[in-house]
Amino acid sequence: MAALKMKADWSELLTELLNLISQRITTEIDLIRFRSVCSNWRSSSIRNHFHISPFNVPLLQYIDSIIINNNNNNYGTIPISFYYLSKHSFYLIKPSQEQEQEQENYPWLIRVTQSSCGNTEISQSSFLSTDSFDYPFDILDFNELSIQLVAGDCFLLPDDDMLRYYNIRVFKGRVYAVIDKTGRTITVGPEDDPKAQLAAEPLVDCGPEDNKKFLVESEGELLLVDIDPVPVDLKIRLFRLDEKERKWVKFEKNLRDRVLFIGTKYSFSASASDLCVPKGNCIIFIDEIFSEDRLSIVHLDQDRQLWPLCNHPEYYDLFWPPPKWIIKSQLH
């Protein structure tokens, strides 16, 4: 009976068994958690077996142009100058349940980038003016961290000339791209090869010519954020995609608990409760759309004035510096 009460030492599982288990894990976040259990599990499991893109064809990677097709009526060919896609996932690192009781133990938002050649990088450089940070320890290697996927399948288009006008997002397994300043949007799926379908007609009122338009997914809907780039008199309009009617319709609802993170290279959303911030219904700009400081915020239920995010430490702490509890944990 005493032998039956002994706890199994799961860290000593056979290398071959751990490798087989890791091959059957179907999501990246679960593989990260699996590999974070202990050094034996990490060394015995595969590093990554997930594709950068869900598409079997070299979609948008080496295509000179794409064809817009709406009910078999071709609009013509649009030049495209994509070089490659980089996949970005955003993770929220939280303290353990014991550590959560301390008020200063706020979570930390990081970006994990996986390039088309399979390289993975943990970085804050997209949020801040500094380069990728460098610490003498591996933050994701700590067993007691709670890691939560905030947003995945955010693909970066590296061609700066195109980024001035276009925005791209993966939504329900398909690529959606705003192709001009009117908000006209196309979609391409794994089965479409280089032929794109019209996803949304131009906006009836597309706003000033220099308005910026961004795609972001929130609670299962694809949103178009239309922004007047003059920060003094900031005008923001939200639209949601009506997939059946193929048009953008005004988003009348309040964002409630949602926080939109908008940038020229990628955008995503998360709930304020998951982020442990005071409230949602706000937009955080994560690069130099309006400010040289990169990070800024606007509350949609207030005066919609643009503020530097550093003026709101409860939000700014999500990005930098790393929480002390992470560093202390690593040094013990």
Distance of alpha carbon 126 from alpha carbon 295, whole angstroms: 10
Which helix (H) or strand (E) covers residue 61, if one does? none
pTM reported for the whole predicted model:
0.69
Range scoring the smallest mean pLDDT among 99-103, 203-207, 249-253: 99-103
Which helix (H) or strand (E) covers residue 30, if one does? helix 28-35
| SS3 at position 279 | coil
Burial 69-80 (b: 16+ CB within 10 A, else e): eeeeeeeeeeeb
Average pLDDT score, the chain: 71
Q: Give per-residue pLDDT as tens, 213-245.
A: 899 999 999 999 998 876 666 788 999 999 999
Q: How many Cβ atoms from other residues are within 10 Å of residue 271's Cβ?
A: 15
Q: How many Cβ atoms from other residues are within 10 Å of residue 286's Cβ?
A: 24
Instruction: Pick the more confident residue, 163 or 193.
Output: 193
Distance of alpha carbon 268 from alpha carbon 153, whole angstroms: 10
Q: How confident is the model at residue 189 (pLDDT cuts 50, 70, 90)?
A: confident
Q: Give per-residue pLDDT as tens, 281-298.
A: 999 998 776 666 678 899
Distances 15 to 18, 20, 39, 47, 91 between C-alpha atoms, Å: 5, 9, 11, 14, 28
Token duo for residue 246: 């193929």
Q: Which of 175, 218, 216, 181 is closest to 199 using CA atoms?
A: 175
Distance of CA 330 to the CA centre of its chain: 26
Residue 110: strand pairing partners: 91
> Quick one: 136 exposed, middle or buried, by C-beta within 10 A (0-12, 13-18, 19+)?
exposed
In 115-157, DSSP assigns E strands to 120-123, 146-156
- Residue in the block written with tokens 């060919």: 77
Token duo for residue 305: 């004035």
Q: Give per-residue pLDDT as tens, 112-134.
A: 766 555 556 665 544 554 444 44
Q: How confident is the model at residue 21 (pLDDT cuts 50, 70, 90)?
A: confident
Structure confidence at residue 133 (pLDDT)? 44
Q: How many Cβ atoms from other residues are within 10 Å of residue 144's Cβ?
A: 11
List the strands of the sheet with 120-123, edge to edge.
Answer: 120-123, 108-114, 86-94, 146-156
Distances 143 to 49, 79, 203 between C-alpha atoms, Å: 22, 48, 49
Distances 117 to 1, 114, 153 between C-alpha atoms, Å: 53, 8, 16
Q: How confident is the model at residue 159 (pLDDT cuts 50, 70, 90)?
A: very low
Q: Write the DSSP string, 198-234.
A: EEEPPPSS--STT-EEEEEEETTEEEEEEE-S-GGG-
The pLDDT of 73-99, averaged and rounded, is: 60
Structure confidence at residue 211 (pLDDT)? 81
Token duo for residue 182: 């009117």
Structure confidence at residue 293 (pLDDT)? 62
pLDDT at 209 over 90: no
CB 209 within 8 A of CB 226: no
